[in-house]
């Protein structure tokens, strides 16, 4: 009877150990599959970044140029507005009678709707 219990326990332990090994092997296989998946995804992302980076840099460069142009145009428009107001003010003492004879058109900025 005791030998029978020992034998059943040994068989049960072997089956349990076998299930445990199989479970561990499956887990290792799953982890290796994940490594392959993420390695491939990483490679794809590196390629995409390599494709997108020059486009981004080109657009960023164009934006810098456009910002500089915008600032230059803003300053130029500001200067033109000052000149326009100076030339069109009828009560401007520096222009004398000449300033009073010019029609009053308002500021250049307001006439452009800015």
Give the pLDDT confidence of 60-91 residue by residue, as tens digits: 999 999 999 999 999 999 999 999 998 887 66
Q: Please report, rounded to a whole number, the percentage of residues in the chain having pLDDT higher than 70.
A: 78
Q: What is the pLDDT of residue 20?
A: 98
3-state secondary structure of 100: helix
**42-54 average pLDDT score:** 98
Instruction: Look up residue 48 and give its two tokens.
Output: 């995409």
Q: Which residues contact 28 (CB under 8 A, 6 or more apart)?
A: none
Contact between 84 and 107 (Cβ < 8 Å):
yes
As a whole number of angstroms, the distance between CA 99 and CA 52 comes to 58
CA dihedral for 32, 33, 37, 38, sign (positive or negative): negative
């Amino acid at each position: 009877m005791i030998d029978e219990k020992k034998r059943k326990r040994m068989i049960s332990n072997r089956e349990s150990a076998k299930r445990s090994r199989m479970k561990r092997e499956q887990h290792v296989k799953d982890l290796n599959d994940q490594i392959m998946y993420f390695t491939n995804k990483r490679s794809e992302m590196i390629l995409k970044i390599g494709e997108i980076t020059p486009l981004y840099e080109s657009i960023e460069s164009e934006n810098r140029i456009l910002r500089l142009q915008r600032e230059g145009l803003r300053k130029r428009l500001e200067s033109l507005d000052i000149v326009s107001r100076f030339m069109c003010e009828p009560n401007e003492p520096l222009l004398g009678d000449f300033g009073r004879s010019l029609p009053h058109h308002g500021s250049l900025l307001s006439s452009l709707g800015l």
